[in-house]
Amino acid sequence: MTSSHVYAAGLDAGSAHARCVICILEDQRLRLTGYGEAPSHGWTKGRISDHEAAAESIQQAVEEAERMAGISIGEATVGVGGGSVEGSDCRGVYEFGRPRQIDSGDLSYAVELASRVSLRDDRFLLQIVPQDFTLDGRSGYRNPRGATCSRLEANVHAITISSHDHQSVVNAVHQAHLAIEETIYEPIAAAYAAVEREDRTRGVAIVDIGAHSTGVVAYEGEALLLAKSLQVSADHFTRDVAFGLTTSYDDAERLKREYGCAMVGFTSDHSLIEVPSAEGRPPREAPRRHLNEILEARAEELLLLVRKEFARVHLDQSLLEGVVLTGGGALLSGTCDMAERVLNCPARLGLPIGIADWAEAINNPRWTAPAGLAMYSARLKHRKEGKRKVPSIMGLVLR
């Protein structure tokens, strides 16, 4: 850092684009100072295959954000995702031997016991998110400091990722000359930026539709009950269009963005679109309805998979605040309407909230996860400056 100000940076090293957000922390409030974006290179099917190319993309995004902010950052909180992410519930039991009052150190130790999960050799423990505590068999305590018991149980949700996938991202970020404060599951970062605590209490889910995977997290009573990556992603929508309309991938992506809709009923039966052909051949006309039939089928498939995950953790009837859609794939017209139809709950786009001077140019779901990562970074730095009255593993769960 070149100044006495406290800067917080979030980096989304995605498989389609690398995005960086830099904020300044002023009187415990965040203000945007810079942002940058660069196309991602060196990725194959959602995994880094060329660390040097991936590092160059990251560096370009960071340097663009630094130029706008007028400072140079040395570290950032980094988002990770991909199809190898898994979540599972774990429990840690702390026996006191005699009844006594619980303090924050006891809560932290119980969570630490729960975090000692047995992992396969190829798995990395990405995050431990406390759900609630059980005191002498009485469950449902969110923050039982000051209560008395002789047996304390911590219920947590453990999020793991392929060790190889995680290390590949870490190596690429380091090659871009950036230190990593923390690695965070991207849908959790998106939730941090776009969802208020009251929404989590009443029940809400985040569906982060990325280029090569879709991340899903769900909360009820402020507890994280689900973290899951699905293999269906925005890339599948584009490939379906390319195959169905017999056109190139790039042209299919353009058609999807300009004319696509996830609900056929929103399309005129007589509307036509121009479909580019192979070089040397004239373009063709095709019914716009045909394009949207392709997209609707894939959107329904994705959301049925989401609904299956909700049912698995008994949340299919409990999401009173509905579903929040983030990521570039959420920008497809009609996606919120399809989500409401399939999931039978309200749906909205998740936009970043809580950061002053947030630029209109990046006020869309693509930038929600980077915003949340910057907010995590600010929380980390704020806690380093003062005494930690609550252990960090607890304090970083909710704002």
Q: Quick one: pLDDT at residue 67?
A: 97
Kindly tell me the burial class for residue 384, based on how many C-beta atoms sit within 10 Å of its own C-beta (0-12, 13-18, 19 or more): exposed
Q: Which residues pair with 47 in a beta bridge?
A: 44
Q: Quick one: pLDDT at residue 386?
A: 55
Q: In whole angstroms, what is the distance from residue 196 CA to residue 375 CA? A: 13
Q: Quick one: pLDDT at residue 278?
A: 78
Longest C-alpha distance within the chain, in Å? 83
Q: Quick one: pLDDT at residue 393?
A: 38
Sheet of 86-101: strand order equals 86-101, 148-162, 123-135, 138-141
Q: Which residues pair with 155 in a beta bridge?
A: 91, 132
Q: In whole angstroms, what is the distance from residue 63 CA to residue 55 CA? A: 12
**Domains, the chain, with CATH or none:** 86-161 (3.30.1490.110), 196-349 (3.30.420.40)
Q: Cα torsion for 376, 379, 381, 387, to the nearest 10°?
A: -150
Q: In whole angstroms, what is the distance from residue 85 CA to residue 169 CA? A: 14
Q: Quick one: pLDDT at residue 226?
A: 95
Q: Quick one: pLDDT at residue 267?
A: 80
Q: Is 46 left (phi over 0), alpha (psi -120 to 50) or beta?
A: left
Q: Quick one: pLDDT at residue 369?
A: 97
Per residue of the chain (399 residues), give pLDDT as tens. Answer: 445 688 999 999 999 999 999 999 888 789 999 999 999 999 998 899 999 999 999 999 999 999 999 999 999 999 999 999 999 999 999 999 899 999 999 999 999 999 887 778 889 999 999 899 999 999 889 889 999 999 999 999 999 999 999 999 999 999 999 999 999 999 999 999 999 988 888 999 999 999 999 999 999 988 999 999 999 999 999 999 999 999 999 999 999 999 999 999 888 778 999 998 877 788 899 999 999 999 999 999 999 999 999 999 998 888 889 999 999 999 999 999 999 999 999 999 999 998 999 999 999 999 999 999 999 999 988 777 654 443 333 343 434
Q: Quick one: pLDDT at residue 365?
A: 97
Q: In whole angstroms, what is the distance from residue 105 CA to residue 111 CA? A: 10
How far apart, in Å, are the Cα atoms of 200 and each of 231, 241, 271, 369?
Answer: 25, 36, 42, 17
Q: Quick one: pLDDT at residue 330?
A: 97
Q: Quick one: pLDDT at residue 4?
A: 66
